[in-house]
Chain A
Amino acid sequence: QVQLQESGPGLVKPSGTLSLTCAVSGGSISSSNWWSWVRQPPGKGLEWIGEIYHSGSTNYNPSLKSRVTISVDKSKNQFSLKLSSVTAADTAVYYCARAAATSLGYYYYYYMDVWGKGTTVTVSS
C-alpha cells in the first residue's frame, strides 16, 4: 500500500524559499502516476500547486508557475517542491498526493487516490 510523507521546515522567512520533500513508500515513483502538491491556507479550500511524472514532465498552476519548481529523485523514491519569494499568503498546510490520469472512450479520468498527512508551513519573520 503506497504511503506518502511530507517533510521540511515548518517556518520560512518572507522572501525566502519554501522547500518540501515527499517520500514515497510501498510503491515506486516510476509507476504510471503523477505526483502532486496541493496546499490549503488556514480556513480556506484546496489549491493545486503542480505535479510531476517520473520522466520529469511537469504541470504547474499558472498562478504560481513563476515561483514553483517540482522535481523528482527516482534513486530516493521521492519528489520535492520549491516555492520561491514566499509571503504570508503562502502560509498553508502542504499536501503531497498521487494522481492518476487516464481516459475511457470520450471521457477522461483524473483523481488523487493517495495523500500524505500534510505539513504546516508558516511564513513569518
Chain B
Amino acid sequence: DAGVIQSPRHEVTEMGQEVTLRCKPISGHNSLFWYRQTMMRGLELLIYFNNNVPIDDSGMPEDRFSAKMPNASFSTLKIQPSEPRDSAVYFCASSSPPGGGEQYFGPGTRLTVT
C-alpha cells in the first residue's frame, strides 16, 4: 500500500485566499484524522471522521475551517479565507480497527500564508 497520500506537499498563498488540502487514506481504513502542527502549539487534532461521518470537530479553530469526507478514499480540509496564523504543517492520518488502532500519518502539507 502507498500509505496515506496528501496533496499538495507545499502550499504558499496570500492572505484571504482559499486553500484546499487533500488526503487519501489507506485503503480499508475507516477512520480519518486531520492534525495541525506548529512550533508554538505542537500537534493539534482538528477533526476526525469514522466511516465518512464527522465525529468530533471541536478542534477546528473557527468557521474559516471546514472538512469533508465524501467517500472512504478522499477527504479535504478547506480554509477560507486563509490568514497568516494558519501557517503550519497539516497532517492527515488514518486507522483501521475500532478502539485504539494505531494511526498512520501522511507526509503532511506545509502551508504558508503570506
Are A and B a genuine interacting pair, yes or no? no
